[in-house]
Amino acid sequence: MNPRKKRRVALCNNKGGTMKTSGVTGLAEAFADAGYSVLVVDMDPQRNASRRLGVPLDPQNSRPSVSDAIRDAAPGIAAQALHPCGWEEGFAERITVLPAVKALENRISEAGVPGAVRRLDVVLEGVDDDIDITLVDTQPSLGHLTQMVLAAVGGALVMSAPEYDDVEGAIRVQEFITEQGVNLYNPELEFLGVVPTRVREQLAAHKYQLEGYDTTFGVENIWQPRLPEMTAIKETNDDAVPMRSTPGGRKMADFFDVHARTLAKRVGL
């Protein structure tokens, strides 16, 4: 696989509320704090990753976005839509954001255009060559926007709470990657594994689902540590601040530091 593509990673699940966006921002924070340069690509029209990384939406001052880049579909044009992370911490200078806007939904209707599924890959051409790792947030969907992402990245990491619907969504992502990589012009697309999220160890239902993870996905594909359900994460998300900037979020930041080191090894950093 092309080394550049290998260092592009999507966070996915075919279900919402699984900590995909928290995973993107948490990993971006962890990588940046460790000294790596990071590009975050927001491919969800809800633009939660963009907002949480300090790239606000200003109706009076329109910013170029990933939607504009994909619409134009010129090689490397995403460079014109990059924005700095708005966090105040020093490590934030190593995070760059390719933000989303609601109009990204309009790109879905263009799915029938020849080569449409490769547009994200095309607009990123050369843009992240000097970036250590690119993290992509996705919709809870396997439709056109997510397919563009999977055509552009080297691997997908699934975020999944130990609940029935989350696990089913994770299975659908794994099957889609296995079956459709060739059709996405990305035959080497890799399923990187599953991060258990929003875990409440005291719940019998969570214990039951977690016991089945090894069988369902393969023991080698289950990432540790598990990410617990924490109120502090909801607060840092709402306030659009890094996890490590608050006493309550520091524990979760430590977990993401471990996952960032694991991911760094997987992508060859």
pLDDT at 137: 99
pLDDT at 261: 98
pLDDT at 204: 86
Specify the fold of 3-267.
Answer: Rossmann fold (3.40.50)
pLDDT at 205: 84
- Residue pair 101/65 in contact by the 8 Å Cβ criterion: yes
CA 254 to chain centre: 18
- Starting at the edge strand found earlier in the chain, the sheet holding 95-98 runs 83-84, 95-98, 38-42, 133-137, 8-12, 155-160, 190-196
Whole-angstrom Cα distance, residue 95 to residue 98? Answer: 10
Residue-level pLDDT, tens digit, the chain, 269 residues: 888 899 999 999 999 999 999 999 999 999 999 999 999 999 999 999 999 999 988 777 788 999 999 999 999 999 999 999 999 999 999 999 999 999 999 999 999 999 999 999 999 999 999 999 999 999 999 999 999 999 999 999 999 999 999 999 999 999 999 999 999 999 999 999 999 999 988 888 898 888 889 899 999 999 999 999 988 888 999 999 999 999 889 999 999 999 999 999 999 99
pLDDT at 57: 83
Those residues whose C-beta lies under 8 Å from the C-beta of residue 175, and which sit 6 or more positions away, are none
Whole-angstrom Cα distance, residue 200 to residue 229? Answer: 6
